[in-house]
Amino acid sequence: MSDSIIQAMPDLVAFVGRDGIISKHLGGRQVLSVANLTELTGRRLDEVWPQPIAKLLLQMVRRALSDRVPVEDQYTADEHSYEVRIRPQGRERVLCVIRELANVVRSGADQVDRRGFEQRMNQSIASGILRERQVSLGIIHLGAIADIGQSLDFTIADQLMTLALGRLPSTLPATSNDSSPNPSWYVGQLGDGFVAVVVADAPEREQVRHIIQMLCNSFAEPLSIGDASFYLAPCAGIAILGEDALKPTSLLEAARAALAEARRQGPGSLQFYSDTVRKLPKIRLDLQRELRQAIASDQIELHYFGRHNLASGQLEAVQAYLRWRHPLRGEVLPSEFIPIASSTGLAVSISRYALMRLSIDAPNIDRRLGAAVKVSFAPLRHHLMADEFLTDLDAFYQSCGLAPDRFELRIAEKSLTSLGKAEGIIGQIAGLGTAVMVDEFGCGFSSLARLAQLPLKGLQIDRRFVLAAAKRTSALRFCKGAMSLARSYGLIPIASGVDTEAVRQLLIGLGCEQGIGDHFARLELKEPLVKKMASA
């Protein structure tokens, strides 16, 4: 994470010694002025805050170090109230997080005349119906905007939205069909992270696709604030008047349904509302029914991949990943069946089943690879939030004989941001001696303060950033910043997508310690270990 993102953080995160000297700091935009933020390192608390506040902070630091427990308190300065959380980091320093308690005030929300756009959109659709003109409606979702607003700052999200809309091209290259009339189109903001595109006089579907795709490509280019780059992760749904709907409200609903399917497929997807989308609810009901049967008939598998020390090549851990091999459909990707499981109440069952499978496989893995190799598992979010998760975890340890300190739990960054009071469950897991790692880092927007407060052991960067690091400067900066962030918090820097020797060398140069990817020899552990164990 780059310096400009860090400096934009509203919370102040600082390492403070027993003597009250600040050894390192991050963020703090809503706590101190920018000028003061550049002068904190090496200063005493009483040089930064008024005497009463500095005294309170120093007392909290020493109490946390002497009692070896986190402490919390509040103070008021310049008519602003702040919350202080202090957690011991070794015997001589603490991690101090200071957050303003006042509500966030959004700015720039009215920069786009949304009501005026909606009126114009309705008029275009009504005119299309009356005059039998071809009108299409596309809705583009910028998936990162909401996460940025909630986890970083709404002001940053608004600024990015304004920059994204401001750089849209006023004209687009012509389509390949020059005999068709030139389509007209205009764009407006429907809501936070949602942009609507009305296209008129485009009789061919490919013309509409061309326009929406070009706009999505514009949104997909990274946006910069200082040297910080943001990826807005656009996807789009499109509905056509007359073909998909006959009135404005129905057309909007159809475009939203198409967008919902595009969002399921992931960033960069573009989906027309069509018979395929209309049939998807039935397809999903079939998959839901088949998913239940898959759990009962052992079709859900765990495949294992090694995580290695990048410098020495030593195997550090075995990471388990869910797979579903359908007897007729073939391999169904996790991106297809996990959202269905999450929306139909099957997520807990699948995650619990996978943990059971792992408990049977773990002793075999232990015998093959040795006691020095950790076993890593990523429970689904609904299972992690369930009351019985800790009971299931205890049953896992009892059944497989694996010591808690040999086990890792990986939690996707996006799941981490939605866990609510994650400190409780993660603290209990860490209390057992089990390492908790942040997985898919970069796909969500965790606040620095939240990461600093949780008892985490590692940070694994999502493979899309690793694969792009050799090609795009922005991705390289992100990887470099993530490694720096991990080291600042005492976390193991890990990378997914280490597919080549060149990538391995690049990551070593950035300070990455461990990685997983095709560069390393594949572990032959995906065979049905359950059957081997059952027959043993």
- DSSP track, 184-195: EEEEEEEETTEE
Q: What is the mean pLDDT of residues 443-468?
A: 80
Give phi and psi for 90, each to the nearest 5. 85, -160
Label residue 168 exposed, middle or buried (CB < 10 Å: 0-12, 13-18, 19+).
middle
Q: Which of 9-18, 386-395, 428-437, 488-497 has the lowest mean pLDDT?
A: 9-18
Of all residues in the chain, the percent with pLDDT exceeding 90 is 25
The CATH superfamily label for domain 295-535 reads EAL domain (3.20.20.450)
Q: What is the mean pLDDT of residues 190-203?
A: 85
List strand residue ranges (DSSP E) for 387-491, in order. Answer: 407-412, 435-441, 458-461
Given a contact cutoff of 8 angstroms between Cβ atoms, the answer to whether 312 and 363 are in contact is no
Nearest C-alpha neighbor of 446 from the set 81, 13, 116, 119: 13
Nearest C-alpha neighbor of 515 from the set 533, 500, 530: 500
Residue 35 pLDDT greater than 50, yes or no: no
Q: What is the mean pLDDT of residues 329-335?
A: 79
Residue 336 pLDDT greater than 50, yes or no: yes
Q: What is the mean pLDDT of residues 427-443?
A: 88
Nearest C-alpha neighbor of 478 from the set 490, 493, 491, 489: 493
Predicted confidence at residue 179, as pLDDT, reads 45
Predicted confidence at residue 118, as pLDDT, reads 75
Predicted confidence at residue 535, as pLDDT, reads 31
User: For the CA atoms of 495, 499, 500, 503, what is the dihedral angle to 10 degrees?
Assistant: -30
Residue 375 pLDDT greater than 90, yes or no: yes
Token pair 């943001």 is at which residue?
230
Residue 534 pLDDT greater than 50, yes or no: no
Angle at 46 between CA 42 and CA 49, to 5 degrees: 100
89-124 confidence digits (pLDDT tens): 888 998 888 877 643 333 333 334 566 677 788 888
Residue 47 pLDDT greater than 80, yes or no: yes
Angle at 327 between CA 322 and CA 331, to 5 degrees: 40
Q: How many CB atoms lie within 10 A of CB 327?
A: 10
Distance CA 132, CA 89 (A): 69
Predicted confidence at residue 516, as pLDDT, reads 94
Half-sphere exposure of 428 (CA within 13 A, CB side): 12
* Mean pLDDT computed over every residue of the chain: 80
Q: How many CB atoms lie within 10 A of CB 247?
A: 13
Angle at 15 between CA 11 and CA 19, to 5 degrees: 130
Given a contact cutoff of 8 angstroms between Cβ atoms, the answer to whether 87 and 70 are in contact is yes
* Type of residue at 175: T
- What is the maximum alpha-carbon separation in the chain? 80
Which comes out higher in pLDDT, residue 91 or 513? 513
List the structure tokens of 493: 């820097």
List the structure tokens of 388: 């019985």
Task: Quote the pTM value.
Answer: 0.59
Pairing state between β 330-332 and 135-142? unpaired
Q: Is domain 114-273 annotated with CATH 3.30.750.24?
A: no
Architecture of the domain made up of 3-100 = 2-Layer Sandwich (3.30)
241-288 confidence digits (pLDDT tens): 888 888 888 888 889 888 988 887 778 889 998 756 665 666 666 677
**Every domain of the chain and the residues it spans:** 3-100, 114-273, 295-535
Q: What is the mean pLDDT of residues 162-166?
A: 84
Model confidence at 439, in pLDDT bands (50, 70, 90)? very high
List the structure tokens of 204: 């061919």
Distance CA 120, CA 250 (A): 16
